[in-house]
Amino acid sequence: MKKEIYPKKKFGGKISVPGDKSIAHRAALFSLLARDKIIIKNFPNNQDCQSSLKAVETLGVTIEESADKIILTPPDKLNVDDETIIDCGNSGTTARLLAGIIAGSDAKVILAGDESLSRRPMKRIIDPLTAMGAEIYAEDNHLPLKIIGKKLLPFEYRMPIASAQVKSALLLAGLASSTSVTIQEEVITRDHTERMINEIGSGITVDEIKPLPIVDDIDPRKKKMKMPADFKKEIKLSAQAKIIGGEIDIPGDISTAAFFMAIAAISKQKITIENMGLNPTRTAFINYLKAIGCTVEITDKQTISGEPRGTVSITGGKLKSKKIVKDNTVALIDEIPVIAVMSAFAEGTTIIRDAGELRIKESDRLTAVTENLERMGVKCGLLEDGLVIEGGKDLNGADFKSYGDHRIAMAFSVAALFLVGPSTIDDVSVVDISCPNFYVLMDKITK
């Protein structure tokens, strides 16, 4: 479905965005491991999270839906045989986390996905799960994956890439198989799995390694700070860890809210997002907004279901560019497409590096962003692992492509509001992957 978008001048108001996709996937998938019911409030009605819900239903979970919650009742035994095919749709989180659960259970399943998901790398989960003793068959390390669940071995793993999906797949494999798993992260990634195990279960400890003062050998009067280990976090799941069940209330998704916060930033006006997730492993975008010249106010801070949340008001200012590299790139990984759009309206040149992972998301996001930025007249350099974007003036409306990727469609819908003349996006049906009411919310804050 093609959409025309016209430039607008006045923005403002208060919205809430759908529930956090990462938390929702986990809440749904945990029903396969729980002893009792899982009650989920604010479960988002998007295609990705529906893939996780359908998957658990196929595996035997009973789903009852009412106006304000869904109730998931775990089966006595997973309902599968050799022939059971689970379609994970476009959702990498469903495929990778579910692979961990199945690998450690006594089920046999084939995990499949759409064309985009079938191109995404699965070696990152196949290798460590196989090292735990899992039986997984895949052609060329891509979906479909045939997984024959079995009792897995205790496992210690230093993450070779920064990925919350891989970390979570291994923790869920440990839970499914009552096997201990220790993970060390050199780069900290989102920690919703760890928090949820703590919230509705038990048996996980997380150690954040902080630099310690040490005395300088040469001059004992001096002290320097040194990391006592060469990793930043250690997560230990015990063989006795369990998921009991209970209620999970999901806060609004900061990665979806980012598109509306970007509208506030570029327009220099004020937009408020209510009940937005503020998990510290996800809030790098707020720090980034402050650093480029926006004012951010946070009220009503509270923690529910182990996840911090609050009401966040963003008022845009004169935007300046800011380099994004290393751990900060990881912390902003889902927000880079909209950051690239904001950079086009900022003063100076924005450099984004260490973002090679973006080439293997729902689309090659580095290429998609570059081509769309060039369509609106921005000078943009495409690097193997990043982008160089020159802030521009008088950028023109353009015919954008979504590349079948929800975040690309949403990012360039934001851009279209600030261009000279109308723009089109070739297929906006892809926003249903994470935020089906995206254009309703956009209209709500557009005067």
Residue type present at position 345: F
Handedness of CA 418, 343, 404, 84 (dihedral sign): negative
CB of 92 to ligand S3P, least distance (A): 6
CA-based R_g, the chain, Å: 22
Query: In the complex with ligand S3P, which residue's Cβ is closer, 38 or 170?
Result: 170
Query: In the complex with ligand S3P, which residue's Cβ is closer, 15 or 166?
Result: 166
What is the number of helices (H) and of strands (E) in the chain? 14, 24
Instruction: Please state, in angstroms and rounded to a whole number, the distance separating the CA atoms of residues 307 and 42.
Output: 13
Interior/surface letters 317-334, b for 16+ CB within 10 angstroms, e for the rest: eebebbebeeebbbbbbb
Query: In the complex with ligand S3P, which residue's Cβ is closer, 433 or 442?
Result: 433
CB of 358 to ligand S3P, least distance (A): 9
Instruction: Please state, in angstroms and rounded to a whole number, the distance separating the CA atoms of residues 170 and 404.
Output: 29
CB of 165 to ligand S3P, least distance (A): 3
List, edge to edge, every strand of the sheet that includes 181-185.
Answer: 155-158, 181-185, 233-243, 201-208
CB of 251 to ligand S3P, least distance (A): 14
Query: In the complex with ligand S3P, which residue's Cβ is closer, 93 or 116?
Result: 93
Query: In the complex with ligand S3P, which residue's Cβ is closer, 122 or 441?
Result: 122
Binding site for ligand S3P (CB under 6 A): 22, 93, 163-165, 168, 190, 333-334, 357
CB of 88 to ligand S3P, least distance (A): 13
CB of 119 to ligand S3P, least distance (A): 14
Q: How many CB atoms lie within 10 A of CB 231?
A: 16
Query: In the complex with ligand S3P, which residue's Cβ is closer, 329 or 372?
Result: 329
- Rounded to 10 deg, the angle between the 47-58 and 21-30 helix axes is 10
- Strands 386-390, 349-352: pairing is antiparallel
Instruction: Please state, in angstroms and rounded to a whole number, the distance separating the CA atoms of residues 167 and 162.
Output: 9
Cβ–Cβ < 8 Å for 204, 256: no
Instruction: Please state, in angstroms and rounded to a whole number, the distance separating the CA atoms of residues 4 and 80.
Output: 46
Instruction: Please state, in angstroms and rounded to a whole number, the distance separating the CA atoms of residues 287 and 189.
Output: 16
Instruction: Please state, in angstroms and rounded to a whole number, the distance separating the CA atoms of residues 86 and 94.
Output: 10
Query: In the complex with ligand S3P, which residue's Cβ is closer, 91 or 311?
Result: 91
Active-site option among 20, 87, 253, 334? 334
CB of 307 to ligand S3P, least distance (A): 13
Please name the residue ranges forming H helices in 308-364: 326-331, 336-344
The verdict on whether 334 is a catalytic residue reads: yes
Tell me the catalytic residues.
Answer: 334
